[in-house]
Amino acid sequence: MFDDAWLRDLLQHRSGVLTDAGAAEELAFTLARQQPDVDARGIATRELLGALDETWERGWQPADVVHAVRREATAGSVPLAVALIGEHARRSDAMSRAPDAWLDQLRDLGALVPGDPAVVTTWHRAQRRTAAESWRIVLLLTGFLRTAARIEVLVPPPSQWGPPRTRSATEPTAGDDRALRRIRGLLVKAESTEFPDEAEALTAKAQELMTRYAVDAALLDAGPSSSARAAVGTRRVHVQDPYVRAKMQLLAAVAGANDVRLVWYQSLGIANLVGTTSDVDAVELLFTSLLLQVAQALAAAERSSGPRSGSRSFRRSFLLGYAHRIGERLTTARERATAEAAAAHGVDLLPVLRSRQAAVEERVAELFPRVRTSRSRSSVDAGGWYAGRAAAERADVGQRGPSLC
């Protein structure tokens, strides 16, 4: 028979006992026999919320937690993690205190809807799992939160939020926000249509807008009224299995072509983008679009290349070849668009671009002082590599659109 103190001690354990699937399963059966209603006294909910607090202090953000829980714990943990994040947001008054980036993640996760403070019990009943399965998920999630590695703090955690402030629901949308909404809308339509020609046209238009968005921001910085460097921001991008390393190479290619630095946590599938706001926005959106395009291109290559194309080596090499060629194409397109815009407006953009790059490098050095460059040493399937490069030649990176000038 366990008591409340024993359960608290268990859930506060920081060794590998709660991250070991076998140990968690054995403990879950014991807990299920003793407490089949799952957390009726709210101890697990309190301990999980406390573990979340510690995780925020170690640099994690809401979307990071959900991404890693899906990878490291179990997919069944995700609804519980989102419910806990939502309850934490309510208790910390995130709606009026959290930074905008934090609040955006809560909205994207659906963590701002009303919920029951008895999080674990409510989740258990809604999911209709056995008591043993629910306890197993609780233990694994607690273990992940207690042992999550420390990463860089890019957004202030709840302990550093200021007093409540008023957010106007009717505040007019800024021009940049409207542009991004248009880009996202075009990409969503491109991903949902069943007609390749329509998808290509929508993607081309979205990428045209992305390029215009980035160049216009540079021209604004180069204008006579500009008195300071462009603001440098950071954002995390979560890359899903399979072939995380190869997909990171594609993200790195897109980032490098757009003057954005990428630092990634190899074991977590989490990338940190550092760059001016307009460039980071463009990189994230373009990467999302190219992921869709490369998935479609890989499926077509597998259909036409025979049984060998179904191997992991072929697929990974396809993605690497695609990323390499896309990087070359994007770099050329960016240089041409920048030169055309500068000539059309009679502005020398090189000084402002150098200034922006210097600001980005300074921010990277400040946030990631121990970062190191790594190269992949794994073997490459030549057929997959060249098939990927060929697909990248056909990928739409917005070069067929009308001139920006």
> Would you state the structure tokens that stand for residue 101, as one six-digit string?
């980036």
| pLDDT given at position 265 | 93
pLDDT bin (cut points 50, 70, 90) of residue 63 is very high
Residue 300's pLDDT band (boundaries 50, 70, 90)?
A: confident
Q: Counting Cβ atoms within 10 Å, is residue 208 exposed (0-12), middle (13-18) or buried (19+)?
A: buried
**Mean pLDDT, to the nearest integer, of 27-40?**
94
Handedness of CA 89, 93, 98, 103 (dihedral sign): positive
Residue 258 confidence (pLDDT): 86
Evaluate if residue 32 carries a pLDDT over 90.
yes
User: Cα 110 to the chain's mean position, in Å?
Assistant: 16
Distance between CA atoms of 69 and 144, rounded to whole angstroms?
Answer: 7
pLDDT for residue 190 is more than 70: yes
Q: Which tokens belong to 227?
A: 């008195």
Of 104, 60, 107, 56, the closest CA to residue 86 belongs to 107
Token representation of residue 125: 């009943």
- Whole-number pLDDT of residue 151: 96
Summarised one tens digit per residue, pLDDT across range 67-111 is 999 887 677 899 999 999 999 999 999 999 999 999 999 999 999
Q: Which residues contact 41 (CB under 8 A, 6 or more apart)?
A: 4
The predicted pLDDT at position 383 comes to 60
Please give the average per-residue pLDDT across 304-318, as a whole number: 79
**How much is the pLDDT for 381?**
54
Q: Which of 113, 109, 107 is nearest to 79 (CA)?
A: 109
Distances (CA, A) of 140 to 21, 63, 122, 150: 7, 18, 18, 18
Residue 365 in this model has a pLDDT that exceeds 60? yes
Mean pLDDT confidence for 155-181: 73
- What mean pLDDT do residues 119-144 have? 95
Q: How confident is the model at residue 403 (pLDDT cuts 50, 70, 90)?
A: very low
Compare 171 and 281 and report the one with higher pLDDT.
281
What does the pLDDT average to over 197-206? 66
Q: State the average pLDDT for the chain.
A: 83
| pLDDT at residue 169 greater than cutoff 60 | no
What pLDDT, on a 0 to 100 scale, did the predictor assign at position 79? 95
Written as six digits, the tokens of 156 are 């202030």
The whole-angstrom separation of Cα 202 and Cα 199 is: 5
Most confident of the following: 81-90, 107-116, 283-292, 297-306: 81-90
Of 15 and 94, the structure prediction assigns the larger pLDDT to 94
What pLDDT digit, counting tens, does each position of 245-278 carry? 999 999 999 999 888 999 999 889 999 999 988 8
Report whether pLDDT(401) > 70: no
Task: Give the gyration radius of the chain's Cα atoms.
Answer: 24
Confidence bin at 159 (pLDDT 50/70/90): very high
**For 207-220, how does the pLDDT look when each residue is reduced to its tens digit (9 = 90+)?**
667 666 777 776 77
